[in-house]
Structure 1
Amino acid sequence: MQRIYLDSASTTPLDSRVRGRMLPYLCEHYGNPSSIHSFGQLTKNALEDARETVARLIGAKPSEIIFTSGGTESDNLAIKGVALATLGKRKHLVSSTLEHKAVLESLEWLRQKLGFEVDYIGHDTKGRIDLDDLRKKIRPGETALISIMHANNELGNLNPIPEIARFARDTGTILHTDAVQSVGKIPVNVSELGADLLSLSAHKFCGPKGIGALFVRQGTLLEPLLHGGSHERNRRAGTEDVASAVGLAEALRLAIKEQGELQEHILRLRKTFLATLGRVCPNYKLNGDAENALPHILNISFDLSENQKLASDVFLLALDAEGLAVSSGSACTSGAPKPSHVLLALGCKEDEARTSIRVSFSKQNTMEESDAAARIIGNVLTRLRQNRLH
């Protein structure tokens, strides 16, 4: 059976060129970068070279890059780090209900444990945030942080971060953006975005898992969450994973170098997939703002009759049995029995949310796979509607 992977928004395979750059630091160059001897200094230099590369590629200074274990840690460090640094002065936070769980649960932790107030801004049924509502909810002198993602991980929607950054600057408020889905896929420059903190993760652009970074603009208050060493300029204790940092830098370099070619390929895949899907399953609905979104992510709902309710994992497993790997949303919550919190926030009914899937393309996919994937979805839905799915 041909197996088709259309879940690159969850993770991507490690590029062989990235693996090649990492290998020396997994094998022969094993020194601790904190050691002053030559073994340590060799890996220290590699670590700082990786930091300089990441910084240059996103328009930052090397001193503004903190290596982390991934997007979830970067989000936690940004949100809790700013909140703890401003504790006693500002105890109000602003975000959106469409954020990744790493953001939402960090905000909820601060509310429950430390008494922070959290306001969530409105949005329309396509997931476009209400900027007027954002302006109203910012409290100058009280709001410690605004956290709005650059690109939604389930819908692909792009948010107007430069405009939000202007609101933040005008009110003296720190702005964090989760750019885990956008970095490596579209041009991302921290100077142009204007955010004070930005999260990214290597495994979303063919880098290794377990490594990410947090951009922290110079002068931004940030309390470390990990203690026990002066690593990462006293902002994240713990011996650094040099091989993974090298891998992150190389993966990002390649992703940006090949970005134009990749975008053209993704658009062709998307067009082929939607054309075939429209023929085999005309009653589908695209969720989100298709006109202002990352091209590689599609969130699709399918209409089923009232007597054909099912859990989203049944649909996903049926597709997987036919050789197609897609997801129901964020990989961090796909195993949960509840439907996507993002789709529910958009106003989707639970049944509709449960039969929604996220299709996400990568450079590894072919036109033949794109066409075949749409046909598999159509076949599974036909069997489901005929009550022949067991």
Structure 2
Amino acid sequence: MMDVPSLVWVLTIAGIVALLVFDFIFHVRHAHIPTLKEAAIWSSMYVGIALCFGLVILAFGGASPGAEYFAGYITEKALSVDNLFVFLVIINSFRVPGEDQQKVLLFGIVFALVVRTVFIFLGAALITTFAWVFYVFGLILLVTAGNMLRPEGSEGKSASSVMIRITKRLFHTTDYYDGDKLLTVREGKRALTPMLVVMVAIAGTDILFAVDSIPAIFGLTQDVFIVFTANAFALLGLRQLYFLIDGLLNRLIFLSYGLALILAFIGVKLMLHALHENNVAFINDGDPVPVIELDTRLSLTVIIAVLSVTVLASLLSRRGKVQAVTSAARRHAANYLDPDYTTEVGERNRIFTKLLEEEQQIRSLGPKHRQHANDEKDLVDLISQAHRKHDEKL
């Protein structure tokens, strides 16, 4: 455990808050849809800041804390990418206007940071007081790994849908957006707009993801400073990453398998550590069990290797390419047909151009995969409607 002075804690938290404020003032307050170049530049900036911070820990804390930070950061970043899948589903299901998606995402990041901070200090207090918590954390990760292997995992969706139903039952809501306002007036009464409801949905998924991610990083390090900073820097830049890899999210078809393997590995690591520190009466009469422990360097190697193989396999997979191009074509056609999606003429033209590119990619697929795309009647209908609407405008 590193001995971190209070001043370093204050400066670190102040720096993280400053980055969030900067993000809001210079990027989110002015509603717009980020270009690919903008998203790439700022994603690189945030990753660079996180890596530089890790080098500082490596220089002043030593090799072991440095390895723990990088293992934690990479794991949390990978889990954050998985979170983006659910964010994408929520944002699309609520038909959030393109210009306002940044605001929703930034709220989700800030809320996630607050929730995870609470969970981190609660988890640290439990670990310090009760050694058996390692068994609980290990079990949570093993169960989560199993759930990730289920087809079309719906944990995030179910959590958000429950939050939405409760919100709509308790409060007066509208079915239309009023710019980026959270409240509007309907029939002379104040009502919640879908903008606030979608934020509630994002908050619900944040709480669920915190239950998974916090035990994962505690399986790599029990240093609260490293746990907090690795989580914070993994979340920072997530908004830009969303727009940068939006088209690639559906391509990473094996990511859930890779994350399941990583969480299972960390779960086993926690169980072994729990046995090594055992004080539970009905296990070995309350005495520690002499078992092998997995060090941080091995954990870091396993995490990098699994993620590398997973991403490469996804990108090289023909099925992944088919799934990515059909999903993107469906989304772009639906967005083009939705008059409320965006008011920017340039963005609407960009969407239609992307749709044309995806149609060309579908035509270039092999006969088997091309026929599979053509068999999806809803996709064919959406594309046809988009072309008719574009021709009418011309």
- Does TM, normalized by the shorter one, top 0.5? no
Q: Which has the larger radius of gyration?
A: 2
More helix by share: 2
Band the TM-score falls in, shorter-chain normalisation: under 0.3
Query: What is the TM-score normalised by the length of structure 2?
Result: 0.24
More strand by share: 1
